[in-house]
Amino acid sequence: MMLSAVRAAARRSLASNQRASTSFPPPPSSHGRRSLSSSLSSSSSSLSSSSPSQSSSPSHPPRRTPPSLSSSSRRQYATTSHPMMRPTVAPRMPVKTVHVPTMGDSITEGTIVDIPVAPGDYVREDDVVVVLETDKVSVDVRAAESGKVVEILGEVDDVVEVGSALYRLDTDVEAPEGGGGGGGGGAGSAADVPHATSPPPVVAAVASAPTPPPPKKAAPPPPPLPAMEFVTTSLGNRPERRSKMSRMRQRVAARLKESQNTAAMLTTFQEVDMGNFMEMRHRHKDEFAKKHGVKLGFMSVFVKACTAALREVPAINAYIDDENKEIVYRDYCDISVAVASPNGLVVPVLRNTEYMTFADVERTIALFGQKAKDGTLALDDMAGGTFTISNGGVFGSLMGTPIINQPQSAILGMHATKMRAVVDEKGNVVARPMMYLALTYDHRLIDGREGVTFLKSVADKITDPGRLVFDI
């Protein structure tokens, strides 16, 4: 009976230890183990002394020590189970919507003529995203910061208003050329790196996958060609080609017709002897170019002559305020100079010509010409103007009647210089380089006397350039 009781006690102790090992309790203390061992030893000794025949009985199975978690496993279990220790993802920055910029006081809309990028393309700061054509110039809408183009909110030939949404840009995307993000260094155990958090299995699998190479940026599509339609007649092969009017051409047409419908235009003519100025120019052009770094042309002397004449006849420099029924006289001279460009005629403005020298005029006109050729003229370059000079002579025009550039009141037309037979002061017939000048003015404001006086003053100053030197 004694032996059976000891065995039953041992089995209960073993079952208890097995249940404890399942819930991972701390292992029994050494004191507890010694107590249990002593109890079993004393029981066995008493049993052996009372029943010597049972000393060779089989030994009990060894007690299983409950497993314990390592320090690294406990840290991993704690960090993944506690909600405050789980890895979080930073909130994504919102996608920015870029609007049509302000393009001038009188411009309220523009037409999309080119979209050099496509949705999904990565653009850097100052890259052109959309090209708009206004009534006066083309405007490049550039990216204010780097990012990926999410959506273009328009198509070519769409008319967009100032302030309307134009495209959407995700600025939270890294440049493809910059390579992948911080992929981390070599692998190590959790015990080697304190406070390290193990990513979830799905995140770990994605992070361990090789980073695909960034997609190559597709070349921007070429600008679309104007839509063309061939119309054949019944008289055989007589094709016609149609092309859509650009926004600038539409605006020029509308303004010219508006000028004809508004002003009472009258043109007066005068011929001018260019011989004295051409001789003076020939003597000093090399030294002028060497000192000022720009060629001496005809336009500078006409600008200075017109500026002096405008101050003599203030009505030519004024305009009519139709809304308030007033005449506005301006005490400054801003002369517009018509310049040909690939997109049509543009008219940049020389500011305060009364303070400009011949060299200042030539340098500014050369700069405007280069900008017109490159298509980089800004709206501020063409805003305003009190008087306009148009030089049709560079194209071989002998004579013409220019149209007033509203709201100005007059415009001077220069023409080609031709050798013609004239009678000099002594009655001799001589060949002289002559140019016809044409002044178109608004007869509502400018009387014939004022118009002729102005044009005669300009012609006198060109014929005798000394008048400009001595201000007479």
The catalytic residues are: 443, 447
Chain centre to alpha carbon of residue 468? 45
CB atoms within 10 A of CB 51: 12
Q: Half-sphere exposure (CA, 13 Å, Cβ side) for 21?
A: 11
Task: Give the separation between CA 209 and CA 226, rounded to whole angstroms.
Answer: 48
Taking alpha carbons only, the member of 7, 17, 3, 16 closest to residue 60 is: 7
Pseudo-torsion of CA 233, 234, 235, 237, nearest 10°?
Answer: 60
Q: Which residues lie closer than 8 Å to 250 by C-beta, 6 or more apart?
A: 135
Taking alpha carbons only, the member of 320, 334, 375 closest to residue 136 is: 375
Does residue 341 contact residue 375 with C-beta atoms inside 8 Å?
yes
Does residue 267 contact residue 455 with C-beta atoms inside 8 Å?
no
Both tokens of 34, joined, read 């010694």
Does residue 283 contact residue 371 with C-beta atoms inside 8 Å?
no
